[in-house]
Amino acid sequence: MTVYEEQFPGLWQGFAAVVKRDLTLAWKRPGDVLNPLFFFAMVSALFPLAVGPSQEQLQLSGPGVVWVAALLAALLSLNSLFLSDFEDGSLDQLILSPQPLPMLALAKALAHWLVAGLPLVLVSPMIAVSFQMPGQTVEVMLITLTFGTISLSMLGSIGAALTVGLHRGTALLSLLILPLAMPVLIFGARTVSLAAANDPVAAGIYFLAAYCILTLTLAPFATATALRISSE
C-alpha cells in the first residue's frame, strides 16, 4: 500500500501539476492570453462605433455588449484547450495516467479559466466605464462574469474535447457550445441590466452560482469521456 502511494502522486498533486503546466505554457506564450483580451476590448469598442455615441443607448446596451463580447472572447481561446496536447501526444499521457481523468479534465478547464476567463473579468470594469455603467452595476457585473466565465470554461471544455483533432474544429465548436451557453448569457446580461435599473439581482446571481456548480460537477465527466473517444 505504501509502495503504491509513493509511486503515484496523489489526486491533488496530479491536479496541481496539470494546472501549473498549463499556466507555465501560457506564460511562455503570452499571445494566448492577450489575443482574447484584445478581441474582447475591440468587440466592445465596435458597438458604440456602430450604434452611435448616444449615452442613453450605450447605458442600455452596455451589459449585453460586455456579455456577448466576453462570451465570444472565451470561445475564441477554447479551440486551443486540448489542441497542442493532442498534437504533441501529451493528451494520450493524460489519458493513460493513473489519475482519474475527470479530475485532470477539471484541472485543464480551470487552467483555461485562469488564463482566458479571469483576465476578461479583470478587464471588464474598463469597458463598463466606457459604457457609463454606475458603480454598483460594475460590482454585479464582476460577480456574474466570474461565475459565468467559469461555467463557460467548463461547458467549453466538453466542446473542445469533442472537436479536438477534427478539421473545421473552430466553427464547429462555436456551433456546439453557443446554444448550451445561452442560459449563462441570458442570466448574466439580464442580471447586470437589472442592477443598472436598481432592481433586485439576487435571483440571477444565485442562478449563475448554481449553474457554475452544476457545470463544475458534471462537465469534467463529459469532458473525460469525450477525450477518451476523441483520442481513440
- Interface positions with another protein (CB under 8 A): 158, 162-163, 166-169, 172, 175-176, 178-180, 182-183, 186-187, 190, 194, 203, 207, 211, 218, 222, 225-226, 229-230, 232
Dig out the grid coordinates for 45 from the structure. Answer: 469598442
Q: Minimum distance between the CB of residue 38 and another protein, rounded to whole angstroms? A: 28
Quick check: 173 and 217 in contact, CB under 8 A?
no
Quick check: 170 and 80 in contact, CB under 8 A?
no
- Helix then strand count (H, E) for the chain reads 11, 0
Closer residue to another protein in complex, CB, 115/143: 143
Closer residue to another protein in complex, CB, 35/59: 59
Q: Minimum distance between the CB of residue 3 and another protein, rounded to whole angstroms? A: 35
Q: What angle do CA 229, 215, 228 make, to 5 degrees?
A: 10
* Dist CA 157 CA 181 (whole Å): 12
Task: Map residue 49 onto helix, strand or coil.
Answer: helix
Closer residue to another protein in complex, CB, 40/67: 67
Closer residue to another protein in complex, CB, 69/181: 181
Q: Minimum distance between the CB of residue 204 and another protein, rounded to whole angstroms? A: 8
* Dist CA 43 CA 132 (whole Å): 17
Question: What is each CA distance from 168 to 72, 120, 210, in whole angstroms?
Answer: 17, 26, 33
Q: Minimum distance between the CB of residue 100 and another protein, rounded to whole angstroms? A: 18
C-alpha closest to that of 163 among 39, 75, 71: 75
Number of residues written out for the chain: 232
Q: Minimum distance between the CB of residue 138 and another protein, rounded to whole angstroms? A: 21
Closer residue to another protein in complex, CB, 16/175: 175
Closer residue to another protein in complex, CB, 141/222: 222
Following CA atoms 68, 200, 53, 146 in sequence, which dihedral angle do they give, to the nearest 10 degrees? -40
Q: Minimum distance between the CB of residue 113 and another protein, rounded to whole angstroms? A: 18
